[in-house]
Structure 1
Amino acid sequence: MTTSTINSQKPSDDLGDSKLKLQDIIKTLPKECFELNHRKAWTGAVINVLMVGLGYASIAFSPWYLLPLAWVFAGTALTGFFVIGHDCGHRSFAKSRWVNDLVGHLAFMPLIYPFHSWRIKHNHHHLHTNKLDEDNAWHPIRPEFYETWPKLDKSVFEVLMRKRLWWLSSILHWANLHFDWRQYRKQDQSDVKLSVAVVVTFAAIAFPTLIITTGVWGFIKFWFVPWLVYHFWMSTFTLVHHTDPEIPFLPGSEWNAAIAQLSGSVHCDYPRWVEFLCHDINVHVPHHVSTAIPSYNLRLAHRSLQENWGSYLREERFSLSLMRRITDQCHFYSLGEGYFSFKDYYARK
């Protein structure tokens, strides 16, 4: 792991109680980081639509042996749709709420992702990043909780992690958390029902139309496989952003928002074409410092954090060795001990 040490701030391995406040960090960021630029926002959206269109054209015209490349490109471009909706969910795409809601729903529709359901759950994640038993986006499994699970749930979790099928995790998260409005507060349920209705209506029209015009193989070819690629990136981004053998999760009594957002989330460099299609969502630390920073200003904000808070930052480069380290070691978590693997878990029993 490469950790920036540009300044002499408090070292990043001390993530517990601190007097540092999130506002102290935000004050050091250039004001330009928070400025909404309608031209950049809409240009990014138009380019994303063109890239998705190019992806589907490549699927339509590619010979069978080039289809995997076309699928990867189209699915990655679809992930860009999610990032645009992600900005909308944080109200950093446009100043008007109704524009954010409209664009957010349109961006999420092809992904069959209910916009308001995700927005509400995701905002909870930002309020409780790396807080033990509270962070709902990605949190470690505590062995005492694991032992209370049904056998089926245990088996699914073990297969996902031992067989390195982390890339399916986002699908389980999507299915379990975003369609049941009863999981939400009463004042949010009408928004959740609206978003569920939008994607169900889209699927009810688009899927039969696709099958009628292109057959079942067309449905698999044009929607299902690119959708799986999209979930690969969603699972990977989420896992890498918030999981590392050295990142602690702390109980609320010891948790500090400023430290958690700076050192509990990871900046990871991916191939540049991935970063371009996904609107720099990999530049993740400034997004946790302030969700008001739009995606096109994340790099500017990150450079400022490197200059002013470098010793807190965790920076990685995407690689197979990185994924092996995470999926081999980060299975269970215990307070005072940190992460440990299935092998260690069963050795203690």
Structure 2
Amino acid sequence: MSQVFYGNNTNLRVFSAIPFLYKQAVRSVNQDDESLLAHREKELFGTGVCCFTRKSEGLCVVLFSLVELSDQEALDNNMGAGGCMPARKTEAQQKNHLSRVPHAKPAFTVGDIKRAIPPHCFQRSLICSFSYVAYDLAITFLLYYLATTYFHHLPSPLSYLAWPAYWIVQGCVLTGLWVIAHECGHHAFSDHQWVDDTVGLILHSALLVPYFSWKYSHRRHHLNTASLERDEVFVPKPKSKLSWYSKYLNNPPGRIITLFTTLVLGWPLYLTFNVSGRPYDRFACHYAPNSPIFTSRERLQIWISDAGIIVVSYLLYRMALAKSLTWVICIYGVPLLIVNGFLVMITYLQHTHPSLPHYDDSEWDWLRGALATVDRDYGVLNKVFHNITDTHVVHHLFSTMPHYHAMEATKAVKPLLGEYYQFDDTPFYMAMWREAKECLYVETDETKGGVFWYQNKY
């Protein structure tokens, strides 16, 4: 096990009064070191000792591997006399989500991060993955059964409440199924690519998503995250390239219109017209096999994606003829709008935050780009959405990791990532409003060219 201690003194020692720590002095650490770096790493009787410094905080941070932690109370008592206390963020640090994260190249590598994660977190289980599909489908059909069997028997006041409740809950559950299909696109569902593509194609087509089209464009997003030239989705613009009408929307009514349009129409507009996506030299569309989004080797699978959409659309047409268009809208259409809204919101909030940098080609590299994302807290919906919301940082680092290991992996990497890890527990509905107000365009850093930050002043 490991424990981190902060100390205000330049010289930090492993106190011999603590019986369950190996006795060893740690070399003095200069608090004026320019960056967070490993000052010393040594194996001592099987106990790792590593010192770090951070100039901005004026603190020395020492990481000790403890031999025994069976008597936590004794540890707490001994710490009172030595000038070292268990590391905890101050209240100000916990609340300040808007402080810019570091943009310099980190001292750690992707290999270092991977070694910090338990190896079993990278193992995919076909049975476990299918259990989540079965669970979500069971709830989906249960809600469908309740709505079609009992809602028409309810008196008018109750029916007006029952249908909105059905739409919201069904939309949330179907968003969870969307996330599982998204995992299939990352080859995180099983060890068999054909299984992943089959399950992903069925689930995404059922939600009117072109599976292979999304898989390929989303893969490019992961390869180019936070790159102003090559990222695929929610690519911010510099102030000079904003639309002429943007400044007229920079007010509460304008933000309401913008958010409503984004949540309701954002997903189909992105798929059809590449709105908010990377600019291409010609028309880009997820439904067009010859779109510049795709390579020539991918075009056949784009046709397969389109065929899946056509089949589901025809089934919905037949259901509308048999039941009525109103029935299809109530049972399927409105929940699908909620799925699309959550999808856009989740993606937007994962990559839009005042603390996150973007980079041009002179500064961008894959690791810093992958770290330029933020974990969010959606409350109980974190579980409904299979934790895609609060484990997105580790998902960008290792996208083939299944979602049911992502929480454990996130906890394992947070101490190593340090200030490069960003988590914001602002309620998502408040965060949407704040980001729509604060994150209007990007401008280059005053002291570091090639690094861009969100601004909102016209």
Q: TM-score, normalised by structure 1?
A: 0.87
Q: Which runs of structure 2 are paired with 1:245-324 in the superposition (5 Å)?
A: 245-262=354-371, 264-272=372-380, 274-282=381-389, 283-317=391-425, 318-324=427-433
Q: Distance in 1 between matches of 2:145 and 2:404?
A: 27
Which one of the candidate residues 117, 124, 138 is aligned to 1:29? 117
Letter in 1 for 2:196: N
The question of 1:122 aligning with 2:218 is answered yes
Q: Distance in 1 between matches of 2:104 and 2:364?
A: 6
Unmatched tracts of structure 2, length 5 or more: 7-35, 38-53, 57-99, 152-158, 274-284, 446-451
Give the direction of change, closer, same or farther, for the CA distance of 1:246–1:25 in structure 2 (3 Å limit): same
Return the structure number with greater helix share.
1
Give 3-state SS (helix, strand or coil) of 2:356's partner. coil
Q: Are the equivalent residues in 2 in contact too, given 1:167–1:231 (CA < 8 A)?
A: yes
Q: Are the equivalent residues in 1 in contact too, given 2:376–2:428 (CA < 8 A)?
A: no
Q: Which residue of 2 aligns with 1:193?
A: 303
Which one of the candidate residues 232, 238, 244 is aligned to 1:142? 238
Which one of the candidate residues 223, 229, 237 is aligned to 2:338? 229
Q: Distance in 1 between matches of 2:254 and 2:362?
A: 32
Which one of the candidate residues 340, 343, 349 is aligned to 2:455? 340
Give the direction of change, closer, same or farther, for the CA distance of 1:160–1:71 in structure 2 (3 Å limit): farther
Give the direction of change, closer, same or farther, for the CA distance of 1:102–1:266 in structure 2 (3 Å limit): same
Give 3-state SS (helix, strand or coil) of 2:376's partner. strand
Aligned length: 333
Give 3-state SS (helix, strand or coil) of 2:116's partner. coil
Q: Which residue of 1 aligns with 2:197?
A: 101
Q: Are the equivalent residues in 1 in contact too, given 2:102–2:420 (CA < 8 A)?
A: no
Letter in 2 for 1:216: L
Q: Are the equivalent residues in 1 in contact too, given 2:102–2:419 (CA < 8 A)?
A: no
Q: Which residue of 2 aligns with 1:171?
A: 268
Letter in 2 for 1:31: P
Pick which of 27-36 and 225-234 moved more.
27-36
Pick which of 24-33 and 50-59 moved more.
50-59
Question: 1:6 deviation in Å?
Answer: 9.3
Which one of the candidate residues 180, 190, 212 is aligned to 1:84? 180
Unmatched tracts of structure 1, length 5 or more: none
Q: Distance in 2 between matches of 1:134 and 1:6?
A: 41
Q: Which residue of 1 aligns with 2:352?
A: 243
Q: Distance in 2 between matches of 1:156 and 1:86?
A: 33
Pick which of 30-39 and 328-337 moved more.
328-337
Q: Distance in 2 between matches of 1:247 and 1:84?
A: 27
Question: 1:37 deviation in Å?
Answer: 1.6
Give 3-state SS (helix, strand or coil) of 1:181's partner. coil
Which one of the candidate residues 300, 322, 335 is aligned to 1:213? 322
Whichever of the two has the greater Rg, that structure is: 2
Q: Are the equivalent residues in 2 in contact too, given 1:105–1:115 (CA < 8 A)?
A: yes
Give 3-state SS (helix, strand or coil) of 1:27's partner. helix
Letter in 1 for 2:416: N
Q: Distance in 1 between matches of 2:376 and 2:272?
A: 27
Q: Are the equivalent residues in 1 in contact too, given 2:229–2:361 (CA < 8 A)?
A: no
Question: 1:332 deviation in Å?
Answer: 1.5
Give 3-state SS (helix, strand or coil) of 2:145's partner. helix
Letter in 2 for 1:245: P
Give the direction of change, closer, same or farther, for the CA distance of 1:134–1:55 in structure 2 (3 Å limit): farther
Percent identity at matched positions?
A: 23
Q: Distance in 2 between matches of 1:201 and 1:84?
A: 21
Question: 1:146 deviation in Å?
Answer: 2.9
Question: 1:240 deviation in Å?
Answer: 0.9
Q: Which residue of 2 aligns with 1:53?
A: 141
Return the structure number with greater strand share.
2
Letter in 2 for 1:80: G
Higher RCO structure, 1 or 2 (CA under 8 Å, sep 6+): 1
Give 3-state SS (helix, strand or coil) of 2:310's partner. helix
